[in-house]
């Protein structure tokens, strides 16, 4: 009887085993309809060839093979990589509602409690942060910040003149002091100022936590979260340091308000209008932190790239100086009113954004719904990377893209080769795309 029962069960057990094996093997397989991409292997997909550093270089190499939109598989998850301004305009910008989410970021959520504007998608939290941020970036407040920028720029020039070999730290002090003054009414007169040291320490660790490929793919393979790893200690360390800095600065603002010693800084205004913005203390603290990151790190990275590039291309530096001397003479420094008259300086700035974009892969987006694009299926939940680096270093669009040549922007509006259709390019392409931007 038992043998007979086992005999009748055996075919079902074999069928179940085969089904399970096939299901496991199919993990990592590129589903029909997805954009093309590198060959996959069972279970891992493309994880075995996924770069762990300088991800934008590898993404660009693959784009030259598989086109302006291609897919990668990491376990069961789908990644879409866009390296075409046409696709950016039609998909990211044209269907921004569908691309307006952010992919889950387990490490980032552990660190910030899900309150970082660079990681939250189109949600109530994101809308509250966006409303407050727009209040600071509006035209009139931005013009009021020019006084701070001019004062800090004067110290920057003095510092570089006195010790040019330390330009790297001078620039970091400058960018950090500008944004701290605007946000918290507190400047950093020296690079060794406590707030500057604290920020650059935590920001280095924060950027490492966010770096694609630098840690196990915890969002794509959630089972890895339960294994030991150095990333867990990193998350605890970054959260502690962020809270100490961001909420320490916020508490200083709150104390000044209580004492009637306002400085007129932005975060004081946010604290006074928390109900209007729909924000509590935690969200307010992380708003300030995100604005410090954006205003300090990206500005200093751009200026570092600019100076290093001018050193590597002295002819460009000479032409820029000649234009300034011709337009302004040698008795004053440029102001914003002079900018329209400095066409070559404008071109230098544009070319720096092209040559060394601050965010070569921007911040990844996620699909809120499944979309069909030129016959390809872009599934709901897929992570979308916009490869800014690859677009700006496309030899089909730019003459000698590896050469720093501001003159290209004096020939065509977007620096592309004459005859290239540049209708899908825009001046803000380096700053992100879609509804949630970077």
Please report which helix (H) or strand (E) contains residue 117, including its range.
none
Query: Helix, strand or coil for residue 118?
Result: coil
pLDDT at residue number 357 = 96
Range from 73-87, 131-145, 211-225, 242-256 carrying the lowest mean pLDDT? 131-145
Q: Is the per-residue pLDDT at 18 higher than 80? A: no
314-330 average pLDDT score: 95
Residue 417's pLDDT band, with cuts at 50, 70 and 90, is very high
Structure tokens at 340: 């329209």
The percent of residues in the chain predicted with pLDDT above 90, rounded, is 69
Give the model's pLDDT for residue 12.
46
| pTM (predicted TM-score) | 0.88
Place of tokens 């496991």: 24
Q: What is the mean pLDDT of residues 410-433?
A: 94
Q: What is the pLDDT of residue 275?
A: 87
Q: Is 349 exposed, middle or buried (0-12, 13-18, 19+ CB in 10 A)?
A: middle
The more confident residue out of 140 and 367 is 367
b (16+ CB within 10 A) / e for 372-389:
ebeebbbeeebbbbbbbb
Q: Please, what CATH class does the domain formed by 105-312 belong to?
A: mainly alpha
Distance in angstroms (rounded) separating the CA atoms of residues 131 and 248: 23
CB 44 within 8 A of CB 79: no
Same topology for domains 33-103+356-438 and 105-312, yes or no?
no
State whether CATH 3.40.1190.20 applies to domain 33-103+356-438: no
Residue ranges covered by each domain of the chain: 33-103+356-438, 105-312
């Amino acid at each position: 009887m038992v043998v007979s029962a086992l005999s009748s069960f055996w075919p079902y057990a074999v069928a179940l085993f085969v089904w399970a094996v096939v299901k496991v093997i199919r993990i990592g397989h590129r589903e029909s309809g997805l954009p093309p991409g590198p060959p996959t292997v069972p279970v891992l997909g493309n994880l075995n060839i996924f770069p762990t550093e300088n991800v934008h270089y590898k993404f660009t190499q693959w784009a030259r093979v598989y086109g302006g939109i291609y897919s990668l598989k990491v376990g069961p998850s789908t990644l879409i990589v866009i390296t075409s301004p046409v696709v950016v305009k039609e998909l990211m910008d044209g269907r921004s509602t569908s691309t307006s989410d952010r992919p889950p970021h387990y490490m980032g959520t552990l660190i910030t409690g899900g309150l970082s504007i660079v990681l939250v998608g189109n949600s109530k939290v994101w809308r509250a942060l966006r409303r407050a941020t727009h209040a600071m970036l509006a035209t009139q407040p931005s013009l009021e910040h020019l006084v701070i920028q001019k004062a800090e720029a004067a110290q920057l020039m003095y510092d570089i003149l006195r010790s040019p070999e330390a330009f790297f730290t001078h620039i970091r002090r400058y960018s950090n002091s500008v944004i701290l003054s605007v946000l918290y009414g507190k400047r950093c007169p020296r690079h060794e100022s406590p707030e500057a040291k604290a920020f650059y320490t935590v920001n280095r660790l924060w950027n490492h936590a966010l770096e694609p490929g630098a840690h196990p793919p915890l969002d794509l393979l959630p089972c890895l979260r339960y294994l030991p790893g150095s990333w867990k200690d990193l998350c605890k360390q970054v959260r502690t340091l962020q809270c100490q800095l961001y909420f320490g600065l916020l508490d200083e603002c709150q104390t000044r308000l209580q004492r009637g010693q306002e400085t007129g800084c932005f975060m004081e205004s946010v604290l006074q209008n928390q109900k209007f913005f729909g924000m509590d203390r935690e969200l307010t603290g992380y708003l300030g932190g995100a604005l410090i990151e954006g205003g300090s790190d990206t500005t200093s990275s751009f200026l570092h790239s600019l100076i290093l590039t001018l050193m590597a291309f002295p002819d460009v530096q000479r032409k820029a100086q000649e234009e300034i001397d011709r337009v302004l003479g040698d008795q004053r420094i440029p102001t914003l009113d002079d900018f329209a008259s400095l066409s070559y300086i404008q071109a230098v700035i544009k070319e720096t954004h092209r040559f060394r974009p601050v965010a070569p892969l921007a911040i990844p987006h996620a699909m809120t719904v499944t979309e069909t694009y030129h016959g390809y299926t872009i599934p709901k939940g897929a992570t979308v990377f916009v490869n800014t680096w690859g677009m700006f270093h496309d030899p089909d669009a730019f003459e000698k893209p590896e050469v720093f040549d501001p003159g290209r922007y004096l020939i065509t509006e977007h620096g592309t080769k004459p005859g290239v259709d540049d209708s899908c390019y825009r001046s803000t392409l380096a700053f992100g795309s879609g509804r949630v931007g970077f």
